Amino acid sequence: MPEETAVEEQEATKPLRRRGAAIGKMLMVVALALASSAGGGVISFLLISKTLGTQAKAAEKPEKAEQEKMAELLEKSAVIPLEPFVVNLADPDAAR
C-alpha cells in the first residue's frame, strides 16, 4: 500500500508542475509584450519631441522677423501688401 500512495502522490503533482511551467511561460510572454510596448513608446516620444523641438526653433526665427515687419507696416499705414495668389472661382466644391 505505501507504494500505491507514493505513485498516486507523484501523479497528482505532475499536472501542478506542468501548470506552473505554463503560467511561467505566459507571464514571460506578457512581460516581454509590456517591455516591447514601453520601449516603443519611449523611443517614439523621444523622436517626436526631438523633431518638434527642431521645428519650433526653425519656425521661431522667421516668425519674429515677420512680426516686426508687419508691425512696421501697420505703423506706417493701414494697408498690408499681399503676395500674388490664384483663385479658381469655377470650382463648385471649393470653400470661399
Contact 51, 58 (CB under 8 A): no
pLDDT for the residue numbered 47:
92
Domain ranges for the chain, please list them. 8-64
- For 94, the 3-state DSSP assignment is coil
Contact 73, 80 (CB under 8 A): yes
Matching residue, cell 508691425: 71
Q: What does the angle CA 84 – CA 86 – CA 90 come to, to the nearest 5 degrees?
A: 155
> Does the model's pTM come out above 0.75?
no
pLDDT for the residue numbered 87:
82
Mean pLDDT by 10 residues, the chain (96 residues): 60 62 91 96 93 78 75 78 84 76
pLDDT for the residue numbered 94:
74
pLDDT for the residue numbered 53:
84
